[in-house]
Amino acid sequence: MTVSGTLYVVATPIGNLQDISPRALAILRDVDVIAAEDTRHSARLLQHFGITTATTACHDHNERDKSQRLIERMLAGESIALISDAGTPLISDPGFHLVRQAREAGVRVSPLPGPCALIAALSAAGVPSDRFAFEGFLPAKSKGRRDRIQALAAEPRTWMIYEAPHRLLECLQDLLDLLGPERQVVLAREVTKTFETIKGAPLAELVDWVRADSDQQRGECVLVVEGAPSVDDSDALPAEVERTLTILLDELPLKQAAALAAKLTGEKKNRLYQWALAKDAQVGDTD
C-alpha cells in the first residue's frame, strides 16, 4: 500500500534571509516539489540557499483548481512544501484551500513555524498582547475601510492590520477620525529589513509624523492598535452628561453624538468619545 506524502507549511523570511530555520531549509531541499505563491519571487530565496527543488505556482487565482492535482501527488506518496512570498503561508496569503483539502483527503499537514510580520510587530509594540485580533488588510476603498474601523472601534483587545504603503496615510487618517486623537497605535514598517522602523504614538501625533516623512510611507506596514479603554469609576461622567450623551447616541453616530454632547455640556469631546467607545465595548462583552 502506498503511504501518502506530507504537506509542509513552511514559513520563510519577511526580510532578513538569516531568519529562515535550518529545518525549513532541509525540508525545502528534501520535498518533491515546492508550491510557491510566486515562483519567480521564491526563486531568489531558493537560489540564495542553493536549493534546486522543482517549484509550481499556487496562488489566489489558481489555488482551487491546483489543489486537487497537488493532493493527488501527495496521495501517491510525494511530499510538498507550501511557501508564500514572505512569512507564514495562509496569514493574509494563499494556502487555505490546499491545506483544507489536504486534511479532508487524509494527507498529513505539518507546519514549520517561523517569520510572521504580525507576530513580529506585536512582540515589539509594547501594547497588551495577552489577547489580540488580526484583521488582515482592510478594504481598499474609503467607505469600506471606515465601516470596518467603526466596527472595531470598541474592540477591547489589541488589534492589528496590514496596510499597503500607498494607502497608509489615508488609513491612519481614518483611524484618527474614528478612534480619536489619543488612541495609541504602533506603526511597524519594513520589519527585519534594513530600514526597519517601529514607532508608537497617539494617533494625532503618528499621523503628523508619517505625513511629514515620505520615507515612512514606503515598504511593508503593520499597524498595531491598542484596544478601547475599559470603563471604571475614575472614568465616570457626571450623571447629566452621561444622560445627554446616551440620548444622543440613540439617534446619532458616535462621533457626531460626542461632538454635540461636548457643545451642550462643556465636557471635552475626546473624553466623551472614549467613554462611549468603552461603554460599547462593555456592552458587547455581555451580549
The alpha carbons of the chain give a radius of gyration, in whole angstroms, of: 23
Q: What is the pLDDT of residue 276?
A: 82
- pTM (predicted TM-score): 0.81
Q: What is the pLDDT of residue 204?
A: 96
Residue 271 cell numbers, joined: 473624553
Q: Which helix (H) or strand (E) holds 83?
A: strand 80-83
For residue 66, the one-letter residue type is: K
What sign does the dihedral 26-59-138-163 (CA atoms) show? positive
Q: What is the pLDDT of residue 238?
A: 85
Q: What is the pLDDT of residue 110?
A: 98
- Matching CATH number, 6-115, of 3.30.465.10, 3.40.190.10, 3.40.1010.10, 3.30.360.10: 3.40.1010.10
Q: What is the pLDDT of residue 268?
A: 84
Domain 118-225 of CATH type 3.30.950.10? yes
Residue with cell 483527503: 105
pLDDT tens digits for range 199-209? 999 999 999 99
Backbone angles phi, psi at 285, to 5 degrees: -70, -20
Q: Which helix (H) or strand (E) holds 286?
A: helix 269-286
pLDDT tens digits for range 79-108? 999 999 999 999 999 999 999 999 999 999
Q: Taking the domains of the chain in order of start, what are their residue ranges?
A: 6-115, 118-225, 233-286
pLDDT less than 70: residues of the chain: 1-2, 230-235, 280-287
